[in-house]
């Protein structure tokens, strides 16, 4: 494209459907949030935003593919605290730089973390769970969505706070991990609230605690780690990115569509019902997302290096 015609094409954008790469299995938290916000965003831009699940390597496979796509606005992605905050600390050969290889669109939702377990696990509360995890040692099975995923980094952090060393069982996303937890094949995991709310409410899994200072209105009966005296507070986020070089007019259209989706009552209700946290106006701009990525990289890199080193001892 010559520079002179690119802006004209960006003005007409979009003239066909847009692919949104979700870097985890269908049915999990990233997929759930993508599908909820895409519905209204598609209405605003007048073209369908279609999810393509490209799972693997804790989300880094799909994000690397999306980062390398033609930056024309027809391939975008749903990244998160793992793919855009933690991955560089865990993948020395990561094919993308979260701070420099993207055109941020905006934050889609905050997702508090819960400690959840199979319903047949004998521990009836967090205190008993901690005693159980310590007594079981490597016999305890801890599910996670691959190195660098949110469930991985929040899980490693939990194990390092508790001083436990379970057997880690990798999945392509916490959607399939949750299915195995419901059928009792894995013991526990730390997961984003939107994935587990329905199964906690339905009694199909146990929730020992939510890692927040205050209870979530979506699960008011689940105690917080703070009230239980556990030094473990962590919340994740999901956000939309385009590849670096996407025309500013296209980025602006997508950011406007996301902003309108997050103002749409039906979209808001669906996110809130699942325990999602809706970013305020200032927190959902491309500039705010760029700052968030930079601060998350600075925050997670030392924490993860220390937790991984402790886990190896
Ligand atoms: C997913 O969509 O499966 C999750 O976001 C995985 C994770 O990061 O734990």
Q: Using an 8 Å Cβ cutoff, are 162 and 219 in contact?
A: no
Q: Which CA distances in Å does 77 have to 85, 152, 216?
A: 15, 20, 28
The rounded distance, in Å, linking the Cα atoms of 62 and 204 is 30
Pocket test for ligand 1, best of 63, 144, 174, 236 (most atoms within 8 A of CB): 174
Q: Using an 8 Å Cβ cutoff, are 208 and 115 in contact?
A: yes
The rounded distance, in Å, linking the Cα atoms of 31 and 23 is 8
Residue nearest to atom 2 of ligand 1 (CA): 30
Per-residue confidence band for 310, with pLDDT thresholds at 50, 70 and 90: confident
> What residues have CB less than 8 Å from 193, skipping those under 6 apart?
111, 112, 113, 114, 210, 216, 218, 219, 274, 275, 276
Sign of the Cα torsion 95, 96, 101, 105 reads positive
Pocket test for ligand 1, best of 21, 24, 115, 175 (most atoms within 8 A of CB): 24
Q: What percent of the chain has pLDDT over 70?
A: 96
Is the model's pLDDT at 4 over the cut of 60?
no
Per-residue confidence band for 307, with pLDDT thresholds at 50, 70 and 90: confident
Is the model's pLDDT at 3 over the cut of 70?
no
**pLDDT tens digits along 209-239:** 999 999 999 999 999 999 999 999 999 999 9
pLDDT of res. 8: 60
Q: What is the pTM of this model?
A: 0.96
């Amino acid at each position: 494209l010559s520079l002179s015609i690119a802006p004209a094409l960006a003005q007409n954008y979009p003239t066909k459907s847009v692919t949104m790469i979700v870097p985890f299995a269908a049915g999990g938290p990233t997929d759930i949030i993508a599908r909820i916000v895409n519905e209204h965003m598609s209405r605003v831009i007048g073209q369908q935003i279609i999810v393509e699940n490209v799972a693997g390597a804790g989300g880094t496979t799909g994000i690397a593919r999306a980062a390398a796509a033609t930056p024309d606005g027809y391939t975008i992605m749903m990244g998160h605290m793992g793919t855009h905050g933690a991955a560089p600390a865990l993948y020395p050969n990561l094919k993308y730089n979260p701070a420099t290889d993207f055109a941020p669109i905006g934050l889609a939702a905050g997702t508090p973390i819960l400690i959840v377990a199979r319903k047949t696990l004998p521990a009836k509360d967090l205190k008993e769970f901690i005693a159980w995890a310590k007594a079981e040692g490597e016999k305890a099975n801890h599910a996670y969505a691959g190195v660098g995923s949110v469930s991985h980094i929040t899980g490693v952090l939990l194990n390092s706070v508790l001083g436990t060393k379970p057997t880690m069982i990798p999945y392509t996303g916490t959607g399939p991990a949750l299915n195995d937890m419901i059928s009792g094949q894995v013991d526990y995991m730390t997961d984003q609230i939107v994935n587990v709310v329905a199964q906690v409410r339905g009694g199909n899994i146990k929730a020992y605690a939510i890692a927040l200072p205050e209870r979530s209105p979506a699960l008011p009966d689940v105690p917080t780690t703070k009230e239980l005296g556990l030094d473990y507070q962590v919340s994740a986020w999901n956000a939309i990115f385009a590849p670096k070089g996407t025309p500013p007019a296209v980025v602006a259209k997508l950011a406007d569509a996301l902003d309108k989706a997050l103002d749409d009552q039906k979209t808001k209700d669906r996110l809130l019902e699942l325990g999602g946290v809706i970013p305020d106006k200032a927190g959902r701009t491309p500039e705010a997302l760029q700052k968030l990525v930079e601060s998350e990289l600075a925050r997670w890199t030392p924490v993860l290096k220390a937790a991984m080193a402790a886990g190896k001892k």
